[in-house]
Amino acid sequence: MIFDLHCHTTCSDGSLAPAQLLQLAADSGVDTLAITDHDTTAAFDQLDLSASQPVQLIPAIEFSTTWRKIGVHVVGLNIKPDSDAMRAGTHFQHRVRQQRAEQIAEKLCHAGLPDTLAGAAALADNDNIGRPHFAQHLVNIGAVANIRQAFKKYLGAGKPGDVKQFWATLPQVIQWIRDAGGTAVLAHPDKYNLTRSKLLALLDDFSAVGGQGMEVISGKQLPQLTRDLADICQQKGLLASCGSDFHQPGQPWAELGHFPTLPDSCQPVWNHW
């Protein structure tokens, strides 16, 4: 059985519509798929959850938050998208995203790039605007050659379009997930560039406020990293999750269903739903 519990659609920063993503998952041999769009459950409004799907679909979300002023992501698996808690959470995050987008556009305007908000919004589905939409707009207008250059020149830390994150707190996003009947999982822990001691401290704080699991596998990764994260997961008494973090076809490091299996020492998150 292949469980891919982290992927994105056009409702956030993915390139495929929800129905297209489900079909690609089926074609890729995935048995169970969680759609985890950033701060929104809009994908599930586009799908008939009562109808038969090509794969087993798990309603989910990926919340943006911070820990010690560092941006981190928390996946909520097996949530109820129409619950009061999830509606409150997505509404809060959507408002924050809009405010941040306006500030990014204002800063880019001062840097000589006017009208970027309209361009980014045109690329975003459900008005869920993020930095990747600004980056793609800058590519489209010829301001930069590619997405990487957009972040390096304009949108990365300390650059002209860098805006402080105003996301909900870590305890708040975990509370939303749990109140919506879901399981709170720390997403891709290796991608925050933390020292080992800081990662352990993050997991301790995460657990203390109700976090229940961590992604041991995020896309293709080295066996040593998988073993190390599995050991940490077991040490901290957390449930283990896995996913591709798929955004678009053609990225071999993040293909749907194409990643290592969880080590036998792990307690898979799906065994505890």
Q: Indicate which CATH number applies to the domain containing 150.
A: 1.10.150.650
Give the predicted TM-score (pTM) of the model. 0.89
Same domain? For 150 and 24 the reply is: no
Same domain, 7 and 140: no
Same domain flag for 247 and 179 = yes
160 in a structural domain: no
- Pairing verdict, β 3-4 and 70-77: unpaired
Length of the chain: 273
**Residue 236 and residue 228 in contact, taking contact as beta carbons nearer than 8 Å:** no
- 246 and 217 co-located in one domain: yes
- Residues 23, 128, single domain; the answer is no
Q: What is the mean pLDDT of residues 218-228?
A: 97
pLDDT surpassing 70 at residue 252: yes
pLDDT recorded at residue 49: 80
Same domain for 176 and 81: yes
> Would you place residue 125 in the very low, low, confident or very high pLDDT band (cuts 50, 70, 90)?
low
Q: Is the pLDDT of residue 156 over 70?
A: yes
Least confident of 21-30, 124-133, 168-177: 124-133
> How does pLDDT run across 174-216, given as a tens digit for each residue?
999 999 999 999 999 999 999 999 999 999 999 999 999 999 9
What is the span of the domain harbouring residue 141?
Answer: 94-155
CATH number of the domain to which 35 belongs: 3.20.20.140
Does pLDDT of 128 surpass 90? Answer: no
Please check whether residues 128 and 250 belong to one and the same domain. Answer: no
pLDDT band at 157 (very low <50, low <70, confident <90, very high): confident
Shared-domain flag, residues 28 and 75: yes
If one counts the domains in the chain, the total is 2
Residue 219 backbone zone (phi > 0: left; psi -120 to 50: alpha; other: beta): left
162 occurs within a structural domain:
no
Q: State residue 104's pLDDT score.
A: 96
pLDDT (tens digit, 9 = 90+) per residue, 61-81? Answer: 999 999 999 999 999 999 999
Together in a domain, 245 and 193: yes
Residue 57 domain-assigned (yes or no): yes
Q: Are residues 148 and 205 in the same domain?
A: no
- What's the rounded Cα separation, in Å, for the pair 246 and 228? 23
Instruction: Give 8-54 pLDDT, tens digit per residue.
Output: 999 999 999 999 999 999 999 999 999 999 999 999 999 988 788 89
Assign 3-class secondary structure to the chain.
CCEECCECCCCCCCCCCHHHHHHHHHHCCCCEEEECCECCCHHHHCCCCCCCCCCEEEEEEEEEEEECCEEEEEEEECCCCCCHHHHHHHHHHHHHHHHHHHHHHHHHHHCCCCCHHHHHHHHCHHHCCCHHHHHHHHHHCCCCCCHHHHHHHHHCCCCCCCCCCCCCCHHHHHHHHHHCCCEEEECCHHHHCCCHHHHHHHHHHHHHCCCCEEEEEECCCCHHHHHHHHHHHHHCCCEEEEECCECCCCCHHHCCCCCCCCCCCCCEHHHHC
- The answer to whether residues 183 and 245 belong to one domain is yes
Residue 233 belongs to some domain of the structure: yes
Same domain, 175 and 83: yes
Average pLDDT, whole number, for the chain?
Answer: 95
Domain boundary among 129, 155, 181: 155
Q: Please identify, among 155, 184, 202, the residue that sits at the C-terminal boundary of a domain.
A: 155
Is 164 a member of any domain? Answer: no
Grade residue 92 by pLDDT with cuts at 50, 70 and 90: very high
Instruction: Give me the pLDDT at residue 126, please.
Output: 55
Domain termination site, one of 124, 155, 186 = 155
CB 74 within 8 Å of CB 39: no
Tell me, yes or no, whether 163 lies in a domain: no
At 215, list the tokens.
């992604």
